Structure 1
Amino acid sequence: MEPVLRQAVALAHQNLEARTAQYLARLGQKVSCRRGCFACCYAWVVVGLAEAAYLREHLEAHLPDALARVEAEGPNRLRRIAQHKHRADFPTTYFLEAHPCPLLTSEGACAVHPHRPLACRGVLTNLEARYCAPG
């Protein structure tokens, strides 16, 4: 991955984190998300090419087993999106089917948390974890 592209993705991640922190501070809210709380890891996540390359670079260097899981799951997800992308209820249906992200570890943690995509960074709650569970 080109250094300038890697830097742009990292900067986008930092900017979202900073804006989210400012927003929550302004509201006086605290996020209840934590390790072991992973219902959001069953959602359909769309990742842009730059973030995908950024994530792949990290996986190749540090988590080859996780990369293998992503590559094995990829064709299944592409097939699903090709078949159902025009259904308005597809993201909800997918979530309720409870397909875990291939980067979710057996301990209930994100294997790439510091490198997770913007789509994942934007999912936060101040509710109890039970409210996030599929269904």
Structure 2
Amino acid sequence: MTALGPLPPTAAVRLVKEAVQDAYADYGSEASRWLDGFTRQGGQVFCGAGCFGCCNMPIRLSLAEALIVRDALNAEKLAAVEAHARQVLANARTAPDEDVYVRRHRLEVGYCPLLDRATGQCSEYESRPTRCRDTFSAFPARYCTEGYWESLSPRDKRQYARDVARTPGTDGELHYIAPLEYLSEPVWEAAAGAMDRAFGLQVWGDFWVLVSLSARPDFMAAVEAGDGRAALKAAQAAGLSHPMILEIE
């Protein structure tokens, strides 16, 4: 494993980062307004400081977002992210299907290395990706932990379904607050558009894998040249490529 430090920003990198940061700000304002109305009408949000039941979930993001995280990390944290990325890769290579991949990610790959387990808070909260910004629960935190659903009896699962269906803010099937996920869609669109304009291609994939790749000069040089094939070869040479965790379009 090679621990790399942040790369000097280029005009293209600044363009994609600024587009996403502007979209983050817009989302934050929209989400705050929605939450104010939701709570005034009696809706409940159970997420809060120190709650990290969802911080061992797989996270998909754009390279544009990964660049924001990359530039917030020091060499030590970049090394920790890459170590995590290699566990993600090992899981992707051996998982027989997506369900097993997600379950093993949560139970075996484990919590994000940017999580401060002592406080239960993200150490890089300001640079966190979209999925970390728009995931909120209308049920207590225990419902977000891996294995809790499986521990419920058939009767409790039926009750869960009834409770979700009548809880404001859910999609009627899961306990997460759906409108906050819908409101974040412009962030994804901004990232896609910015990558197209700056790079002539789009890169999507696993959070920790893309942050690690974004710190590699050969990978970024290929991306900025719009050469998807060379970017894929650089990812393969780094041992950080698998169809489940890296998409270059």
Q: Would the aligned equivalents of 2:88 and 2:109 in 1 still touch at CA under 8 Å?
A: no
- Report the equivalent of 2:53: 39
98-107 or 86-95: bigger deviation: 86-95
Task: Tell me by how many angstroms 1:19 deviates.
Answer: 2.5
RCO comparison, higher one (Cα < 8 Å, 6+): 1
- Report the equivalent of 1:14: 25
Q: Find the partner of 2:97 among 87, 112, 130.
A: 87
Q: Would the aligned equivalents of 1:66 and 1:111 in 2 still touch at CA under 8 Å?
A: no
Q: Would the aligned equivalents of 1:40 and 1:132 in 2 still touch at CA under 8 Å?
A: yes
Root-mean-square deviation (CA, aligned residues, Å) is: 2.2
Distance 1:78 1:97 in 2: 12
For 1:71, the aligned partner's letter is E
Q: Structure 1 runs of 4+ off > 3 angstroms?
A: none
Distance 1:30 1:16 in 2: 20
Task: Tell me by how many angstroms 1:56 deviates.
Answer: 0.5
Distance 1:37 1:68 in 2: 25
Identity %: 31
Q: Would the aligned equivalents of 1:24 and 1:30 in 2 still touch at CA under 8 Å?
A: no
Gap runs ≥5 in structure 2: 1-8, 148-249
TM-score after normalising by structure 1 = 0.81
69-78 or 123-132: bigger deviation: 123-132
SS of 2:111 mapped into structure 1: coil
Gap runs ≥5 in structure 1: none
Task: Tell me by how many angstroms 1:23 deviates.
Answer: 2.5
SS of 1:59 mapped into structure 2: coil
SS of 1:33 mapped into structure 2: coil
Question: CA 1:72/1:59 → structure 2, altered by over 3 Å: closer, same or farther?
Answer: same
Distance 2:50 2:121 in 1: 6
Q: Find the partner of 1:53 among 58, 67, 71.
A: 67
2:81 is the counterpart of 1:70: yes
- Report the equivalent of 2:133: 121
Q: Answer 1 or 2: which has greater strand percent.
A: 2
Task: Tell me by how many angstroms 1:102 deviates.
Answer: 1.3
Count of matched residue pairs: 131
Question: CA 1:38/1:69 → structure 2, altered by over 3 Å: closer, same or farther?
Answer: same
TM-score after normalising by structure 2 = 0.47
